Structure formats: C-alpha cells, structure tokens
Structure 1
C-alpha cells in the first residue's frame, strides 16, 4: 500500500474566555480588568508567543462588553509590547517571527501531535454549549430534564450500601455489565455472548479503537455522506481516508457500492442505519438486507453504529445489521449516552471474540478500562428494567418535541426550506431552498443567541442544510429559536 502524505491540521485560535468575565461591580474600569486578565494569561505562559487572538467583535461577544472596551484593553497591551498586529494575520501575542527549531515550552507542541484538532467550528460549539444564555438548536443529547436523574440517584444510593468495585475491571469490562448488555442486545435480535462484548468509555471510543487497532494506515472507509464522522477526526488522525456514499429516503444507496469499494480499496463500511446522524434517515429492512448481501459478496467488514437504535418514535426500527450477520462480518456499537446518561460514559461493541479481544488489548493501553463505578451503575440500570421504563417515557417526550418542531417549521419555514418527518432519533435535517454561506449563518445566529450545527460540519461542500435537534431546547426555547432562525434566514436570503 502506498504511503500517504499527512495533511497538517488547520491552526486555530488558542484563546479561551469561557471561564472568565469582567466584574461590573469592581471600581476598576472594565477595559483595565480585561487588559489585566490578558496580561496574566500571556506572562503566565497560557497564551504563548505567536498565538492569534480572536477578532475584536468576537472578543466583545465572549466578554459581554462593547467593542470599544476591547479596543481600549488591546491598546494597553500593545503599549506594553505584549501583543502586535501582523499584516493579514490579525492580532497575536508578541514574540519572534521565526522561533528556533527547538521547542521552548509545551505550548510549542500544541499542534504537533498525530491526532488532528477538531474543526474550529466544532471546538467553538463544544465551548459554547456550556453558555446558558444560548439556545442550543443542534445539540445531540437529551435535555437534562429528559434524563433519569431520580432513578440514577436511587441506584447510586443503593450501590453505596454495597461493596464498591474500586479495583480495575477485567480487560473486556465488568462481567455483570456484559451479561446485562448481552440480554439487552438479545431483545433487538443480536446474539452476543458476554465474551463477544467489550465495554467502552462511550461508543465513540469504539470508533477510535477500530481505527487504531484494526485498520492499516492509509486504509479507506466507506460511509454515508453526509455523516457525523466528517465532523470529528477519529479515523483521519489514524491516517484513514473517508469515501462518501449517497443516501436516499431509504438510507445508504447500495447501487455502485462494488465500484467504489474497488476503486478505493475499501477496508470497512461504517453506517448509522437507525435514525442517521445528521439526517435522521431510517434504513428500511429491504435496504439492510441488500447492504449485507453486497458487503458479504465483497468481503467488506461493516461497523454498525447503533447509538440511536432505542430512540424510535413511531415504530421500532428493522433488525440491526448485526442481527442479520451470520459470518462475523459486523461490529455493532451501542451506548447509554443518547438515552440514559451522557456523563456515565458507558458504551459497548459486540463482534467476533478474536476481534473483541484485540480491541480490549488496545483499550487497556489507552485507559485501562471504563470506570468500575459507572459499569456497576449501568449493570444495575439494565438489570432492573430501568432502561426500558426510561426509554418508553423518553420516546413519549421526544415525540411531543418532534411534533412541536414540525409544527413550528410549518409555521415559519414553509417558504424557506424543506424537511422530512423523522421516525426517531433527535434530528430534523432542514434543507434551505437557497444556498447560504453557512459559516456566516453560524456567526450571525450566535450573535442572536442561537447555537447551530450547520451542514458543512458533516459535508464540507454543503451550503444548504442545518441539523436541528428537538431533544435539547425546551418547548418554549424551540418556539423562540425557530422563529428567530427563520427571521435570520430571511435576512441572509436578501443579502446573498
């Protein structure tokens, strides 16, 4: 296999103001507080030489002040020689233009690791999601009020009266939890013994372990386009290339799979057949059988992401691909993060024992196993029927929110966009009638207090889509947010 040239990751601003705001009750002028905070960051080494600061308008927004206040603070820092403006390069922490080849501090290694940084927009979203004043219209997790707080507290209180599992668990994870997961998988048609299940620190870790432990550098992965995997770098950081396949209303289009697999020399096919992220599409039963038949004929392994499997709203989805697998061809990922608790950090992967043992070995080299306490709580949650009771209630709540969002879109977006009714999951994939510069739409929405997930995160060429989530914002938040978003899209339509 030919060696691949590594494309260096894009550099991004390292300045983060998420944890600090000026004190308006202080007798010290606000611009002087800002200058003092920035000076401490620079002289303390948190903001190294050459680091680019955000634009003045963005700094003003993050700090909740007028732009003129930011200008005054930056002027004070410039007089001290701590920052400088560079032609075409914005404002940066002052330093040597050409640093020596040796590193002076850990800051010099920030961009040098083998793992790519997140896309700048994803980094921004990850920070901004913790600003309570923003309406989160794209967030891929249930709202706190939809999570089983009381039930989990009861389980943890009960476990506190027992002997706690403070030592490490075995490499595959807690046997008790694997037995509970095995029973849970059996309810959706997947036969997997505990010895064929590895407990993960969230399903995303399964993707990382596969990319690190099973795929050669330069390998090709086929997947739907758009896809959640384009918004993260789990495969790309391991030197793996992504090749997109088209979708229709029935899911991934299987025609042409053989040609693309041959051209790309594909090693794996990754798919989210149930309530796809970001489109919400549900692959029907016939398409699933077609996909499995074609993949089997090609000898193409399949990585099935079942993160949204439990979140059907109208009717249960068809059998997972793993339930159709009689040859050990499919690895199936599952998680509790989308339904019970993102913070519990419990997921799993089921597959052939030899493969699972290999992934377990890689996992032991990375984190030595998921939290023993989380595994015990998860086992109790599944064993006692808490998961079924909760998902039944969660479906009802999500169904109401989905129907509200569809009603709001009908009211405000009829002339602006088109969409389909999702049968499960969290997302409406909104297609704008007119292409727009989505990064500008993201920034404009942010200025209006709206946090969006734009389509270009999931397909770089996209200029028409928004991933809207009905799982996080409250009903009143959805009403306010969809109205404001429609007004913003109308304004941008006139500009572009």
Structure 2
C-alpha cells in the first residue's frame, strides 16, 4: 500500500520543513545535538530561482553555520528526512552536502551521521572551552523523549490529523466567553501589573478554594499555590520535595512516563498494575517497602492515558493502605471535572484527613491551555516550600492571566462552559466509538470512557510502534503511541476525541485502520 496515495483515506498535505536539524520522529537517538529545533523557518529552495536548488541549499546551510545558529558538533537530520523537508531528491541534497563538506563546514562520521565541523576548521573562533555540544551533554535537565519532541513539533505542521492530542480543539475553547471576561477586566481600572505574592493572586486562590469545595475539597487560600499550569506543579514537587535517587510509585501506563521532570531530578519510577477499577492496591505496601518509595502519583479520575476511573472502594482502600505505611500521595486532578456520564467519586484529597495528599488542578484541559493557570493544594508548610521554589524559577504566573482566571471562576463562566463542553465531547466520543466499531473490530479492543479525552486502544497483535508512528505520519496522521506511557508497550494507542474535528475523525480512523491491517506498512 502506498501511504502517500489517496488509498490511505487522507490526502497528502504539503508539509513545510519545521526542523532541518534532528527532525526525525523515529525515536533514533539525537546524539550530541540538543532536542530543541534549531531551524524553525518554513523554508524550501525556490524552483523558480535562477540559482540551482543545490546552491540554494548549500548557501542556506552555510549561512546558518557561519552565524553560529548551527554550532560545531551539531548533528543534521538524516538525509531521507532532509529530502522530505526540503522537497528535493537525494542527488540534489548530496550535491549540496558535498559542497559544504568540500568547504570544511560539515563532515560525515561512520555510524554518527553528518555533523557541523569544529569552529576552528572554518573560522577564527576558539573552541578551547568546548563546543555547545559539550555543554548540551552536561545539562542536568533531560531532553524530551525523541517521539515527544517529534509530536511537539508536528502538532504545528499543517495538514496533519491529530488523533492523540490531549487538549480541546480550538472550536471547543470558550473564545467568546473569555472575550467577555477580558472586556469586564478592561471596563474597570486594573491594578498595577506588578509581581504577585508568592502563593499567587489572592483573589484567584479564593476563587479556586470555592471551586474545589464543589468537588468536596476543603482548602483555604493559604493552602493553595498558583502555578503556570499543572506541569509546573510536577516540576516544583520534583525539585522541592523529593531527594535525588528516591522512587515514585505510579500507575503503569502513566502520563508521567512521557515527561522528564522527575527523571531530571534524579527520581526513579516503579509502576503498579491497573485494572478496570484503577490502580491495584494489593501490592502497594510491598512495593513501597521494596523500593523505599517516597511518594505515590496517581490520576484517579479519567486516567491519562487509559481513561479509567478509580472506583470509590478502590479509593478508600488506597487511602487506608497508604495511610498505614505513611506514604504521601500526589493526586493529579486535571480531568476531574470532565465527566460525561456522571461525576466521578470524590477526589482523594477530599478523603484526606491527615494532610498526606497533594492535589494538582488546572484550567488547561477544560477552559484554556493558553492561560497557563494551575494550582497545587496541600499542607501550608509544603505549599510555602513550593512557593519559594517557584519564586526562584519564574517569580509567579502572569498577573493578567491570574486576574482573568479569577473572573472566569467567580463570574459563573466556568460552569456554563463545562456544560457546553461536556455536550460536545459526548458527541465526539459517540462518533469515535461508532468509527472504531466500523473499522477496528477485528484489530483491537477498547472501552467507552466515562469522561476525559481518551480511548485506550488495545491492538490484537504487537506492532513496532515507532514504525507505526512514522507510517501514520506519512499518511497525514499524528499518533500518541503506548510506548510513551509504558516504555515496553507494543500494543496500545492513546486516541483522543477532543481535538480532531468530526470530519478528521471520519477520515483519519479508517486510514489508521488500513495502516494497521497491512503488516507491510509497519
């Protein structure tokens, strides 16, 4: 099957280059080059120019090398990927690279790809203190997984159908309501947009306190820290509370495997099995003793990536066992409000009478990812410690975003939007389930989620998921494969009904089924 043909069910879109350096999403190690994109311009050689294509390419690459944008030791993307990004054939690319090699600007290394040469080979710059590649190897913060880097880049590539994206589609976000919120703020004199106090805007913390009470969580404003999204809360906890070389217990699979906030702080993971009722607690005490775990991380409501809801009995059991061994819990409540059939059981924090649970919340999943507003709820001494770490890193979330979020919650906008969002998510969930029934019945199994964004697709046979990712990308589909959430996984995909439009779902899911069905494709 030709994945670039109309047989895939997805028209092949023009894809301008997003990252000429290290852009391969195949999971191949990136060598000494940093994970961030060096080249983010939508540039291709112009066939209408009197200059030959290979001259345009070599001139472009040379300019970036001589300007220092591409430093010594940086590894270029593989030749096949460069050809795709530049829209040229291999002979044209090889001619351009040959010119650069003849000028001493790049060199090929057996088994090491093509790299920019040392600066003193082509300029008077000194490298006595090493190249940037040396520094990049020494950085203490781990780069994202190559596949995560690829997803982060490809999400902004036009024409791709995003079947795994974990955020609401732009048309599901409350643009008109947020415009009214901002208009209300503009209609009154704004206070000086100065730094907020360490815990965050007092009005927003009071509004969050009232919102949490609707979920059964009693938290005074002094027990709430405003963060720049829930992800920053994870980073602050990793840096401020846990000793290096300690262990966190968590569900396996888990969202936490896909980010490196804890690994960069020298913290290890130990996974616990999940079933249809959530995390299996029977091994919790033994695993805590074996690993000397410092904390348990869990997403009890509409788990990411599986969509499972931990039932009330399991939550009570978890609180009892963790209380008996004195194990703190980090509860991620990002999806708590996104129920579609019935509200989930009370959060773990609502059951906490000993101050052992830290609760993460966010507006990113329901209201606005762009506001970058989240929060941590916990004992006041812990919150003060995390606030101190936050002040050392960014001196507080945006004052304007915090004021807008406070008005959003206090003005009744949030509840109104949630009702509308749930209705639209129900429609998209129903469509995805219908399409899965039609096209995946012989390929996989799945369960209908009661809320959140995700369907955890379990394939009947194992597949090389990195190759599946690349085959899907060539067909115009962007996937979140199961190995992002469990490194050894070869049978799962996280499908999201929150982002792709109904039309995209109707085109994308049959195309994905066709790719999986033909073994030659993966």
Q: CA separation of 1:155/1:171 partners in 2, compared to 1, >3 Å: closer, same or farther?
A: same
Partner of 1:6: none
Paired with 1:64 and 1:224, the residues of 2 have a C-alpha distance of 43
Q: Check conservation: 1:18, 1:127, Cα contact below 8 A.
A: no
- Answer yes or no: is the 8 Å Cα contact 2:515–2:521 preserved in 1: no
Match of 2:85 among 62, 65, 70: 62
Give the equivalent residue in structure 1 for 2:64: 41
Q: State the secondary structure of the residue aligned to 2:138.
A: coil
SS of the residue 1:387 aligns to = helix
Deviations 1:401-438 (A, max 9, x none): 11111111111111111111111111111111111111
Which residue of structure 1 aligns with residue 12 of structure 2? Answer: none
Question: 10, 13, 22: which is aligned to 2:44?
Answer: 22
The equivalent residue for 2:174 is: 148
Match of 2:107 in 1: 84
* Of 401, 415, 420, the match for 1:388: 415
Q: TM-score, normalised by structure 2?
A: 0.90
Q: Does 1:299 align with 2:322?
A: no
Whole-angstrom CA distance in 1 between matches of 2:454 and 2:65 = 41
Measure, in 2, the Cα distance between the counterparts of 1:20 and 1:36: 16
What SS is found at the alignment partner of 1:28?
coil
Q: 1:386 to 1:65 in 2, by over 3 A?
A: farther
Q: Which moved more, 1:173-182 or 1:33-42?
A: 33-42
Q: Tell me what 2:316 maps to.
A: 289
Kept in 1: contact 2:119–2:126 (CA 8 A): no
Distance in 2 separating the partners of 1:351 and 1:187: 17
1:235 to 2:258 alignment = no
- Aligned residue in 1 for 2:185: 159
Residues 90-489 of structure 1 mapped to structure 2, 5 A cutoff: 90-95=113-118, 103-104=129-130, 106=132, 108-165=134-191, 166-489=193-516
Moved more, 163-172 or 24-33: 24-33
Query: Normalising by the residue count of structure 1, what TM-score does the alignment of the two structures yield?
Result: 0.94
CA distance in 2, matches of 1:160, 1:65: 51
- Shift of residue 65 of structure 1? 3.7
Point out where structure 2 has 5 or more consecutive residues left out of the alignment: 1-28
Which residue number in structure 2 is paired with residue 3 of structure 1?
none
Mapped to 2, the partners of 1:16 and 1:367 lie a distance apart of 24
| Inter-partner Cα distance in structure 2 for 1:97 and 1:87 | 22
Taking the aligned partners of 1:63 and 1:316, their CA distance within structure 2 comes to 50
- How far has the Cα of 1:13 moved from its partner? 4.5
Shift of residue 334 of structure 1?
0.2
* Contact 2:72–2:132 (CA under 8 A) maintained in structure 1: no
SS at match of 1:110: helix
Measure, in 2, the Cα distance between the counterparts of 1:79 and 1:405.
54
Conserved? CA contact 1:279–1:427, under 8 Å = yes
Q: 2:96 aligns with which of 49, 58, 73?
A: 73
Q: Note the alpha carbon deviations across 1:223-271, whole angstroms, 9 max, x for none.
A: 0011111111111111111111110011100011111000000110000
5+ unaligned residues in a row in structure 1: which ranges?
A: 1-8
User: What CA distance in whole angstroms lies between the structure 2 residues aligned with 1:245 and 1:320?
Assistant: 20
In the TM superposition, residue 22 of structure 1 has moved relative to its aligned partner by 1.6
Q: Label 1:325 to 1:10 Cα distance change in 2 as closer, same or farther (>3 A).
A: farther
| Number of residue pairs matched by the alignment | 487
User: Contact between 2:73 and 2:133, CA under 8 Å: does it hold in 1?
Assistant: no
Counterpart-to-counterpart distance in 2, 1:248 and 1:156: 44
* Structure 1 residue 100 displacement after superposition: 10
Q: d(CA) in 2 for partners of 1:178 and 1:438?
A: 43
Alpha carbons 2:74, 2:133 under 8 Å: kept: no
| CA-to-aligned-CA distance 1:94-117 (integer Å, 9 cap, x gap) | 238999995345554223211111
Post-superposition Cα deviations, 1:133-154, rounded to whole Å, max 9, x if no partner, equal 2111111111111101111112
Change (3 A) 1:92 1:261: same
Measure how far apart 1:63 and its partner are.
2.9
Contact 2:120 2:126 in 1 (8 A): no
Provide the C-alpha distance between the structure 2 equivalents of 1:169 and 1:449, rounded to a whole number of angstroms: 44
The 2-side partners of 1:397 and 1:149 are apart by 15
Contact 1:22–1:30 (Cα < 8 Å) also in 2: no
